[in-house]
Amino acid sequence: MSTPTISVIGLGYIGLPAAAMFASQKVKVIGVDVNQKAVDTINQGKIHIVEPGLEDLVRVAVADGFLRATTQPEKADAFVIAVPTPFKGDYEPDVSYIEAVAKAIAPVLEKGNTIILESTSPVGTTDDMISWLSAARPDLKFPKEGETGQDIYVAYCPERVLPGQVIRELVENDRVIGGITPECSAKAIEVYRIFVKGELPTTNARTAEMAKLTENAFRDVNIAFANELSLISDKLDINVWELIELSNRHPRVNILQPGPGVGGHCIAVDPWFIVNKTPELARIVRTAREVNDGKPQWVISKVQEAVQEVVAKTGKAANAVKVVCYGLAFKPNIDDLRESPALMITNKLAALYPNQVLAVEPNIANDHFETKQSFELISYDAAKDMADVAVILVDHNEFKSGLSFRNDSVVVDTKGIV
Ligand code: SAJ
């Protein structure tokens, strides 16, 4: 591919950084998104999501004419699809955005094009995408595993970048290339070699789909182990943080950290794609999800016990006890609130204790919320003397470098930093 044009479909947390990286290598990129507001923002050289380093890349790419966004698919040499795959009720994956993209790009496809699916997908989705594409374009020969010869090259290549470090990881991480045929893998490699410095091992599409789900399920299972240990340790009057630190001194043990639950839009979602396909086999994966999803409620019950402790100790009325929650984001040192257990716990506490819950979140400005919240967002300094109960929900650097509250505050520390 000499001077390819690449179309990135879906300009969100994964698609927009990928589009910007291609454009940074002076490749012409057509970004496509159904969200007109996002398209307009990008065409002004600005961004609608938060990711360090991304705005600069987009500004330069748009100013230099390498990146342009639109709502309608156009002809290109390669199409990279990065649209969301949420789940519907009962944890059933919803691949309707991928189906909609397949139908939308079908009319502009030309012989020799490459299509790469990056969206996290249940096993078999790339084959489904090919069915949707070939139904719309019977004139083109789409690839089939085990056969040779195709007009269109198709591969599944999952992203695995960590929010907050997307730009670095896009370049450095290895990427699994799951071509439907070896020729498809070779074409996908040409596309990623434009900016990826990591290795690009090849496999088939189904294995690549499962690899993405496996990585996030692995992390979920390991966090669930840590969260389960935190419940057991609490019951047995053992400090779980010390326990894990000591156990991790074993050369082959590496336990992750417990917390208030698992948030974000990936680890709490993707394992269900495995459970949904093989419900009777994926027993550990399902249990891990249940353990992690149960943790916020456990934290809430600990706060309720702490409120009772304050009442018993001080004689204060329960509805006069002030609860300060430290941290709202889904993990440390970011402002991302998506599927955040900390935010969910704070909201539930505010419903249980109306006008008694305050929150400190150094990464979020006071005017962040468009609607009025049931808790009050206050500064770190203002919170100092307020807490009858202090609930530590996120281990932001600001909190780790020293949290101070009144000596008589009762502390519920879900991150082991006090
Ligand atoms: N968490 C813990 N204890 C830990 C580590 C994390 O409770 O020891 C919690 C975090 O607080 C957070 C949640 O888990 O609530 C997820 O955070 P994370 O940092 O583990 O992962 P994400 O969701 O930001 O990104 C993950 C990454 N996957 C893996 O590390 C296997 C990333 O590489 C993927 O690209 C991303 O999901 C994705 O898009 O799928």
Q: What is the pLDDT of residues 177-186, one digit of tens each?
A: 999 999 999 9
Rounded Cα gap, residues 373 and 343, in angstroms: 11
Contact 15, 69 (CB under 8 A): no
Sorted by where each begins, the domain ranges of the chain are 5-207, 239-413
The CATH class of 239-413 is: alpha beta
- At 402 the pLDDT is 82
DSSP code per residue over 61-99:
HHHTTSEEEESS----SEEEE-----B-GGG-B--HHHH
pTM for this model (two decimals): 0.94
- Nearest-atom number in ligand 1 for the CA of 259 is 7
pLDDT at 51: 87
Q: What is the pLDDT of residue 87?
A: 87
Q: Which amino acid, residue 282? A: A
- Protein residue with its CA nearest to atom 4 in ligand 1: 257
> How far is 259 from 238, CA to CA, in rounded Å?
16
| Of 226, 175, 217, nearest in space to 196 by CA | 175
Nearest CA to ligand 1 atom 40: 266
**Which residue from 52, 329, 19, 332 is spatially nearest to 164, judged by alpha carbons?**
52
Structure tokens at 32: 């496509």
Q: What is the spatial distance between Cα 186 and Cα 102, in angstroms, rounded to a whole number? A: 22
Residues in the chain: 418
Ligand 1 atom nearest the C-alpha of 330 is 15
Q: How far is the CA of 226 from the centre of ligand 1 (A)?
A: 14
Structure confidence at residue 2 (pLDDT): 66
With a 6 Å cutoff on the Cβ, whether 223 touches ligand 1 is yes
**Which class does domain 5-207 fall in?**
alpha beta
**Predicted pLDDT of residue 373:** 86
- How would you classify residue 231: left for phi > 0, otherwise alpha for psi between -120 and 50, otherwise beta? alpha
In the chain, what is the greatest distance between 2 CA atoms, to the nearest angstrom?
Answer: 80
User: Reading across the β-sheet that carries 357-360, which strands appear in turn?
Assistant: 376-377, 357-360, 323-326, 389-392, 410-413
The alpha carbon of 54 and the centre of ligand 1 are apart by a number of angstroms equal to 20
Q: Let me know the angle formed at the C-alpha of 394 by 274 and 255, rounded to the nearest 5 degrees.
A: 55
Residues of the chain with pLDDT under 50: none
Give the residue numbers annotated as catalytic, written as ranges: 212, 266
pLDDT, residue 368, reads 80
161 lines ligand 1 (CB under 6 A): yes
Pairing state between β 177-179 and 153-156: antiparallel
Q: Do domains 5-207 and 239-413 have the same CATH topology?
A: yes
Give me the helices (H) in 315-356, please.
341-352
| pLDDT tens-digit series, residues 11-49 | 999 999 999 999 999 999 999 999 999 999 999 999 988
Distance 183 CA to ligand 1 centre (A): 33
The verdict on the CB of residue 93 being under 6 Å from ligand 1 is: no
Residue nearest to atom 34 of ligand 1 (CA): 160
The single-letter code of the amino acid at 341 is: P
Q: By three-state DSSP, how is residue 7 classified?
A: strand
Tokens of 314: 């001080």
